[in-house]
Structure 1
């Protein structure tokens, strides 16, 4: 029996030895929302495979890997959920396995100190507030000349218009070049004023602000007034990340 335990114990420790995990967070993390992290596993044992590996990150989530060959790299995902906003280290990743006989579970632990920025929980803003906001920040069409509105008319090419505005099909039917003329569509900016948001507490207001940013920043300029700290309106993913980071670290910096 002692010999059997010695042999199986050695096989079990060899099975998990040389398994190195690397955890890559997603672009966005919101409190209370499960997020899929990419996990890269490297088996540094060149000729020995590993079986029945289980990855666990603190108390957040686990994933089972049946087999990784000797000297191979394997990519998988690990779903984690953070309960609160702010900076949160993933903490320990534990690589364990019941191999070879399922009597004992052996494990290695790896400490990951790199923090993740977790944004506030997403809570849809109340319908009354949404309707009021839509009156202030809806889409308005100005009848100027531009390239992003509705097609208004076709006219002769004057030489000043960009080539992409030429209507090639109609121009091919005659001797003159014709261009498409569009209206200019502009969307007024939305400035989120933290003190005017509904909600009974700071976390609820932050959740409403995060929802507005998440759903508006790719469509219209969004700015933020956070206790007198003003971030000017802009659009795009990078700007949205900046705004959400300010909300995530509010009161914690």
Structure 2
């Protein structure tokens, strides 16, 4: 099992299409303050940038080690559990948890590779990007003014993680929300996002060959299937079994 410090080291913060480079620097500072250091930047508008460096203060090492990728799929490919973030609850078919509950879930599942995804300053995450995530992490606030700066959002989430893994004072660590799920800590690791994407491609191909899907218009059916499997969160062993089932169907349809 990973130690608390190792868990913090392995939690990835992902920023999607960040508009202001200063926000990237401020987020690096917020992360380092709370013991986080793994930062991925998905298609940032302007980076590297002097403004990012100046806002990072003493967290230039986090910026220097940040990895820039073109898509969210790349950023989370090796992750087994991905949290999308939002300022409020949404019409979302997957589990919705507060920042504190998310930290508790991560504590109860210490062997998972975690990514926490933050969207664009003005528009957040697209529906397609939300579809790549297993859980929605929301930060409750004033319902009449739920506009939260992205740097503040990262700071809040980072603090909840630090409470769970960076501190050792019982009066600061909340366990009420997590006691019922502690038993899952030793369960087999979830399948990685990369493996899930390969499974979805295989699933769509097989269902098209059987005639269940119209090849050029898989439409809503495949999306609903993806949502169903995302809710189920199969582990690596279960995913191999599902791929085996698809392979058997492929043989029956004479697929080469």
- Whether TM exceeds 0.5 here: the answer is no
The structure with the largest helix share of the pair is 2
Report the TM range for the smaller structure's normalisation: under 0.3
The structure with the largest strand share of the pair is 1
Look at both structures and tell me which one has the larger radius of gyration over its CA atoms. 1
Give the TM-score, by structure 2 length: 0.22
